[in-house]
Structure 1
């Protein structure tokens, strides 16, 4: 009898069995770790989505009164665009031409919905908000710039006015129905620097197409430079005088009135003409460099 061979075989078998058991245990542990990591990731994603949803819900609730609509319709995307101009919904995953085509279809559907409802589209503020109520800012910009030549002058003007309204509200200036004005609280009433920072933050969150324009670059550079120069201070200017620059800057950033009250065709020529002169006035009010 070959005792040595039998002993070696038994030892090898025992080792193999032990190795298999160890490997199985390690695989089980790894699987458990992966499962825990996946669960953690899912929980974190869910928490993130929950926080985002809560933030969006809060923004919509607080600004909804300033975007009235006809009964049975909503303007959630317009309202959300005040605090979250970079929020994506209607334009998600689309090229800019596709965004325009989608916006055209959405608006045509709204026209049809109104026509089969109480009455056809009237051009009122309520109907304008309802017509474009589910367009995110990128979709609004496609309408405002007449991407693909698919939109009427009135539609372009309405989209421009809504985009301007979002920017005004975001920087603390009221823009909306007269009857809601008393319910508005300017968060930057005593904080002109905070207002300028809010305006800069809004600019930074604008859509890719908006950022790819000379106007956006000029506005962004001017605001950033003004804030940088204020932060550095100037030996030739007192703190009160420097703060005064920002009070003036804040007034200029208000732009023109675009609440569209009782107007079927918002006066967007004023908005377009105000752009260049506004930036010239801002530059003139900037603190002198040190």
Structure 2
């Protein structure tokens, strides 16, 4: 099992150069101002690169790959769902075409190596390892009809894994669970805020869905009501937000999912949860 990632990965370099382009000083700046700006930019970029590298290093064990390959873009998507690399500067149709090309190249690389793609967790992560979340969404939603059912399911599973890890729920190989530490233990509000942050930084196409809007409104309403209601520490640790964040961590990207009765339960859970939260709020006079 290979869980190592390097700073020189394509994902990191793409984010680094994107940030660099945004922070170049204007041509009209004086030499002194430009020099100071360049120094400040370098410090900022170094911190950004270090943050990305640290994120990949800490979460890489949960996205194992076959030797010689990496899953840096998948790992970075846990803390930076809006970061772009493979999808940068592309329309959604172009994102899908690019993802198809990248995956075909990975299939060929595996076939030329030790063995063809096997469908294992390691091979799945390696196959989609350089796809940012927007590219994953193109695969999950079968944009352009370019992807098989197995590929769509694999992309959905990876997107859900990112969301679960981001909101403090372990998702990954069983042998790595012992190394996981829930950052929101006994902090359901913090967990809900993390889920909200993840939602708000999703790809544009994900945000443009009824599911995203419903989830965002439900979570925001719950947080607002709690902020305006009781601040009792016991209620803060009651676990209600914990349940809501769990719903958000199981985001469904398949438009046909609403036909599944089990998914109806998930979609209705937000309303039921709001009813329970309302019952805890002090009565208004």
Task: Tell me if 1:52 matches 2:53.
Answer: no
Task: Tell me if 1:187 matches 2:183.
Answer: yes
TM-score, length-scaled by structure 2: 0.80
Alpha carbons of 1:147 and 1:122: their partners in 2 closer, same or farther (altered >3 Å)? same
Of 234, 238, 241, the residue aligned with 1:249 is 241
Question: Aligned Cα RMSD in Å?
Answer: 2.4
Q: Distance in 1 between matches of 2:78 and 2:167?
A: 9
Taking the TM superposition and a 5 Å limit, the aligned residue runs for 1:236-275 are 239-241=233-235, 243-244=237-238, 247-255=239-247, 275=266
TM-score, length-scaled by structure 1: 0.79
Residue number in structure 1 paired with 2:267: 276
Structure exhibiting the larger radius of gyration computed from Cα positions: 1
Alpha carbons of 1:87 and 1:42: their partners in 2 closer, same or farther (altered >3 Å)? same
Alpha carbons of 1:278 and 1:121: their partners in 2 closer, same or farther (altered >3 Å)? farther
Q: Secondary structure at the match of 1:286?
A: helix
Task: Tell me if 1:75 matches 2:108.
Answer: no
Count, aligned residues: 246
Residue number in structure 1 paired with 2:39: 43
Residue number in structure 1 paired with 2:98: 102
Q: Distance in 1 between matches of 2:81 and 2:180?
A: 20
Residue number in structure 2 paired with 1:209: 205
Q: Distance in 2 between matches of 1:172 and 1:209?
A: 24
Residue number in structure 2 paired with 1:169: 165
Alpha carbons of 1:46 and 1:98: their partners in 2 closer, same or farther (altered >3 Å)? same
Unaligned runs of 5+ in 2: 1-26, 251-259
CA drift of 1:272 comes to 5.2
Of 193, 197, 200, the residue aligned with 2:196 is 200
